[in-house]
């Protein structure tokens, strides 16, 4: 009788766990607001209309490749899942790990997400990596495999040869249709890069494009998924169309970059580099996301290329994805502000301020220093896997510093600095919901606690927050100094200590985030997209 009773208890426990898990997954799926990426593109030239479906097809190949990098066989995973919500959630996350909840597994039978993703063998240690003699082991465009008991380096062009060959052929076809000479050159060189792993020429060509209407960001770009070394880049793609009117508003700010670099609040040795003179700012509407940028939280702005040599010679391009920003502001930022910001300051939460904060976040990526001042190599190499978290923190805080300076210079006139400060504070709560596995989320947690320690805001008795203007302004300056010095010194230990100390959600912040979640405010957006949503 006792055995029967014990068996019943076990079955009840299993049922309750399954019910709880299914309920969690359903809630997580429903926390993503569906947004349709559609548009009337009838104003494009006939050739541009033909290009868009071709580059969407290339983007879909990038999607397949990111599945392989992040998890493995997409179809094999989805075939194992019977629950429809669980299947939808796996598609959102490109695997069985919740990207916006510290990469916790949500599919039965899976443990923690490997730090190596699919870039390295699961059993490979850092010591094993150091013993590999092939210099290509550290290339952002190679993977490590184990064959016949030995570790081998495979360039992406070999590891993903079939898919990249097809993508390259499609890009060549698109380049033949391109009427803008800059776009034609870029698409052709990017097609070559996919099959040669030499991306720098196409990065330079991308920087030289000025008059194109259609844009296509494609290839292995960001290194967030490689949490073992922060070396390997993930495949992704954005199909974009320029917003001509908004882009004209932004043109003038690129001219201020040398002046802003010289005015950074640190010793000269931390700002001795000069940003390339060809940097530009433009606004776009996005019509297709694929791969890394579509996993979990959706990118709202782009600052590329990441190649430090290209940045120093040419600068970088900052692409503001206006329609995605607006979708997030309306569906997420505004409801968060109504809940978490004191009523007297809610009037300062504005879309223009959100747009500016995001724009100058991307501008700030190109400022500061790319090479350490003590011969320790690039900042990226010196800080290793801690680089992404600190770099995102730099962009956050330095972007706000730049906004402050531009208001003081009279170059920003459509609001006031308080708009940006209060909107930034509300934005911290939005980004902290992405969890500590996200470089952006981690950066915002560190920023939140720094502001808290320096009195930049007050948490009121009713659970709302108020910005203290003067203390916020001073905290922005102090934080900028701290991060720029850590980067310039290549201070790995100091960076790690900072992120370990504050790069996680502490109890009071957790309670506030729980209130936001309980209010049913979307966590992020997910897209209905593709050729069928476009009007030609």
Beta strands 301-304 and 234-242, pairing class: unpaired
Give the CA dihedral 130, 135, 138, 142, nearest 10 degrees.
-120
pLDDT at 225 exceeding the cut of 50: yes
Instruction: Give the H/E segment covering residue 445.
Output: helix 439-453
How high is the pLDDT of residue 14? 47
Over residues 473-517, the pLDDT tens digits come to 999 999 999 999 999 999 999 999 998 998 888 888 889 999 998
Structure tokens at 140: 């952002």
pLDDT tens column, 27-82? 999 999 999 998 778 899 999 999 999 999 999 999 999 999 999 999 999 999 99
Residue where the block lists tokens 């952006």: 440
Helix axes 492-502, 387-408, angle to 10 degrees: 80
The pair of structure tokens assigned to 227 is: 């949490």
Cβ-contact 479, 456 below 8 angstroms: no
Strand-pairing partners, residue 289, are: 238
Instruction: Characterize the bridge pairing of strands 150-155 and 104-105.
Output: unpaired
How does DSSP assign 15-39, residue by residue?
HHHHHHHHHHHHHHHHTEEEEE--E
Residues 6+ apart with CB under 8 A from 142: 136, 153, 154, 155, 156, 159, 197, 232
Q: Residue 350 in 3-state DSSP?
A: coil
Parallel, antiparallel or unpaired: strands 97-98 and 104-105: antiparallel
Residue 41, CB-side half-sphere exposure with 13 Å CA sphere:
28
Beta-bridge mates of residue 292: none
Does residue 374 carry a pLDDT above 60? yes
The end-to-end CA distance of the chain, in Å, is: 71
Residues contacting residue 144 through CB under 8 Å, at least 6 positions apart: 119, 120, 121, 124, 129, 132, 137, 151, 152, 153, 154
424-448 per-position pLDDT tens digit: 999 999 988 877 666 777 888 899 9
**pTM of the predicted model as reported, rounded to 2 decimal places:** 0.83
State how beta strands 39-40 and 534-535 pair.
Answer: parallel
Sign, CA torsion 105/109/114/119: negative
């Amino acid at each position: 009788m006792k055995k029967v009773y014990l068996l019943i208890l076990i079955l009840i426990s299993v049922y309750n766990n399954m019910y709880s898990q299914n309920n969690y997954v359903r809630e997580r799926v429903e926390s993503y607001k569906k947004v349709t990426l559609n548009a009337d593109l009838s104003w494009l030239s006939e050739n541009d209309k033909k290009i868009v479906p071709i580059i969407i097809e290339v983007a879909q190949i990038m999607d397949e490749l990111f599945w392989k990098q992040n998890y493995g066989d997409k179809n094999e995973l989805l075939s194992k899942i019977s629950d429809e919500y669980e299947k939808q959630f796996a598609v959102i996350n490109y695997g069985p790990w919740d990207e916006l909840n510290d990469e916790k597994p949500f599919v039965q039978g899976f443990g923690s997400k490997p730090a190596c993703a699919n870039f390295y063998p699961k059993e490979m240690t850092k010591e094993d990596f150091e013993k590999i003699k092939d210099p290509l082991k550290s290339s952002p465009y190679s993977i490590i495999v184990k064959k016949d008991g030995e570790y081998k380096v495979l360039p992406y062009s070999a590891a993903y040869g079939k898919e990249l060959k097809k993508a390259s052929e499609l890009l060549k076809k698109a380049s033949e249709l391109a009427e803008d000479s800059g776009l034609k050159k870029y698409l052709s060189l990017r097609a070559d890069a996919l099959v040669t792993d030499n991306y720098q020429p196409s990065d330079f060509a991308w920087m030289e494009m000025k008059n194109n209407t259609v844009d296509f960001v494609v290839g292995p770009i960001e290194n967030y998924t490689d949490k073992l070394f922060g070396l390997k880049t993930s495949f992704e793609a954005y199909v974009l169309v320029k917003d001509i009117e908004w882009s004209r508003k932004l043109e003038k700010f690129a001219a201020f970059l040398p002046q802003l670099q010289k005015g950074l609040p640190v010793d000269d040795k931390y700002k001795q580099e000069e940003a390339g003179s060809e940097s530009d700012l433009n606004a776009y509407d996005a019509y297709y996301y694929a791969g890394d940028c579509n996993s979990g939280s959706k990118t709202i702005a782009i600052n590329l290329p990441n190649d430090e040599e290209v940045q120093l010679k040419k600068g970088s391009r900052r692409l503001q994805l206006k329609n995605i920003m607006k979708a997030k502001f309306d569906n997420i930022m505004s409801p968060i502000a109504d809940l978490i910001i004191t009523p007297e300051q809610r009037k300062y939460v504005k879309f223009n301020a959100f747009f500016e904060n995001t724009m100058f976040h991307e501008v700030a990526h190109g400022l500061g220093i790319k090479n350490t001042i003590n011969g320790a190599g690039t900042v990226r190499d010196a800080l290793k896997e801690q680089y992404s978290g600190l770099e995102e923190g730099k962009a956050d805080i330095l972007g706000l510093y730049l906004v402050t300076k531009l208001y003081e210079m009279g170059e920003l006139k459509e609001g006031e600095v308080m708009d940006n400060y209060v909107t930034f504070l509300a934005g911290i709560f939005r980004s902290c919901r992405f969890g500590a596995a996200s470089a952006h989320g981690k950066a915002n947690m560190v920023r939140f606690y720094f502001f808290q320690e320096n009195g930049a805001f007050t948490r009121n008795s009713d659970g709302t927050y108020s910005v203290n203007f003067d203390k916020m302004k001073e905290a922005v300056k102090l934080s900028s100094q701290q991060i720029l010095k850590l980067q310039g010194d290549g201070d790995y230990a100091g960076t790690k200590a900072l992120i370990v100390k504050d790069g996680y959600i502490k109890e009071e912040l957790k309670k506030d985030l729980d209130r936001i979640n309980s209010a049913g405010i979307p966590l992020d957006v997910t897209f209905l997209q593709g050729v069928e949503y476009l009007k030609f």
